[in-house]
Structure 1
Amino acid sequence: MSGPLTRFGIAVETREQRQEKILAGVIASVYRQVPQSVLGSIVGGVALVAVFWQTHNQTWLLLWSIALLLESLARVRMAYAFRRATDTVTQVHRWASRWVATSGVAGLLWGTAGALFFASNEPLQQLVLVAVVLGVAFGSLTLYASHRPALWAFLPAALLPLIGRMVAEQNPAYYTAAIVMLAVFGFTTFFGRNFGEAMFESVKNNYENEVLVEQLLAEKRISDDARRAAENATRSKTQFFAAASHDLRQPLQAIGIYVSLLKKRAQGPLEPLVKNLSTAVESLSKLVEELLEISRLDSGSIQPRTQQVVIDEMFGLLEQEFMPQAAAKGLALRVRRAGYAIESDQMLLMRVLRNLLANAIRYTQRGGVLLAARPRGGLISLEVYDTGPGIRQQELDR
């Protein structure tokens, strides 16, 4: 299909190229039916010759039979060549023209039989002739109707000479028969045209479905490549953070030891400076530890281990840890216990609550912080409230 498909690895296709590919599909279906049509044509020809052999000119019958056989062999050979061809799309018009020419020759052969072998004084032979010609025409209808030019090349050439021969008899009975044959010709033409359109639409839909599947597969390949690239980037980032955090821990530990020694010896105006330095080192150490924990979570090396957690005991530990920080800022830290026990990983759960409490105390200037557990819809909700400014509306989605 035409369109900007190059990003999927599919070349841009013009309308003419698409029509050629659809026509190639139609011609391919035509050539697949050739063996069956050739067999029906030969059977009809043999029946015709067998019935007319004793009453008609045998030389004409023999020449007509040879011509029919050569035409049938030519069709089989052309179908075999088409099947072996490697590039039928770019040469589809040549294959279509060959098929139209072959159809015209076949129509002329059967039209010749209708005009040449018509016996006005042999009703039984007339009946056989009409039955064979109509049988071949109807039997090959789907073959020639698949490509409309081939239908127009075959059908008029096969039926009109026989109709003309009936009219030439100048007999009311033959006039009636000719009218019936014309009606059959009109119906066959109408049916063949509709069948050809249906065949074209079917091949077109199949082709467009194949293109759609190709697009979907290309999109899937692109998404798979993007996913693998993202996974590789995440893995590289995790490895970098893990390595960097691990390498920073030892220098920070050494700095912490030196700072603790300075705190013991610092006196006078150096004492507040050393205290601030110690606080900065502790903050940096906590930051490195958090980076290390994040890298472990990303790499999947930390797996939750669920156990029974008594909420009141966990809240008591958190209260002891954060009460001094809240008191230092003049904030009230309240803990609402409820006597519940849950199934969770206590270490990971306390880490989440620590982050929430630390942020609440850090950004609250006056008032207090509340840590509570409440039942909600059959679950236990652990909640942290504060009287701080809250999160800005534009950052809530983050």
Structure 2
Amino acid sequence: MSETIFSVVHKDASSKARTGIIQLPHGPVETPVFMPVGTNGTVKAITVDDLHEIGFQIILSNTYHLYLRPGTGVIDAAGGLHRFIHWDKNILTDSGGFQVFSLAPFRKITEGGAKFRSHIDGSYHLLSPERVVEIQSILGSDIQMQLDVCTSYGTNYKDAEKALIITDKWLKRAKSAWEAVTDDGIYQGKLFAIVQGNFYKDLRQRSAELVVAADTPGIAIGGLSVGEPFEVFTEYLQYTTALLPEHKPRYVMGIGTPEFILEAIEQGVDMFDCVFPTRTGRNGLLFTRQGPITIKKGKYEYDFNPIDEECTCKVCRNYSRSYLRHLYRTGEILSSILASYHNLYFLHDLVRSARRAIQENRYTSFKKDFLYSYKSGTSKNE
């Protein structure tokens, strides 16, 4: 049986939501937790001091991109990814499987691994389950993901089943490779297996059974938020989480809006990540408790209020909507910096508030009240 890295602290009385602690090499992580995405070893437009200031205990980086640039040789010589990027807390690295999935015209999937052409220079590479474990071990990932085959919404049953079978074979090989690199006690990172099965419940169940049997320290739920309607996401998330053990952390990859995050928390999910808050921030979308706003709109030209009256981040304390609109329209770099900071702070604060609501056994009402304001643009108390 694998080591226990997760403990449940409290279960909400009105839902499946829970708080917990994940013990990782670079310190404990309180859950539920949103992880900012630092694809190339940096959360775009955000410094590590900003991440510390907001309170993040874990971030995500991308194996595929770091493997191509700067390369494992540079990062190994630097003493690992933590030293290279000057981040002293935890890092989760994805396997590169999603990037290979998104490069459909440039890749070929076989049982041996994923062969692909670099989006940078067109060179060919093969990512095998063993090679992906090796790369993530060189990076020094606190959590590393197995190589998997991700399928999109609308994939037919035969192709979804084939992807599941290959993913399971890759999991067995990844676990063997991971056990080999952790045997000497030098590398302490934890391997997470990934549930696939697309949008077919029998395949989801089969995949979940295989993942549970593999007994990795944590479990990710893959193949969601890949273009499906929200109702379908909710249905398959609820179905899949019910198949997983309670004593392991559950991670849904690629969700970063309040609606999706709060739904995942309600179903007992502990971890989630997405580029959405920083990517949309760079494009002028800002989170508020009354719903997202598009700062470039003319109605904000003379609006000297903060982005969100209730937000306590340094952006909302010091800058107005009018000024942020000006920065965005003039293409100033500061626009991306301030918008990204606010959006990350907003989600971090949302998840922190969710943890508090779970501890107080009022998560269902908390979620309902927040989404009422977020979707209607008015507070329930107004």
- Please classify the TM superposition score into its range, dividing by the shorter chain length: under 0.3
Greater share of strand: 2
Q: TM-score, with normalisation over the residues of structure 2?
A: 0.22
Of structures 1 and 2, the one scoring higher in RCO (CA 8 A, sep 6+) is 2
Q: TM-score, with normalisation over the residues of structure 1?
A: 0.21
Rg bigger for which structure?
1
Greater share of helix: 1
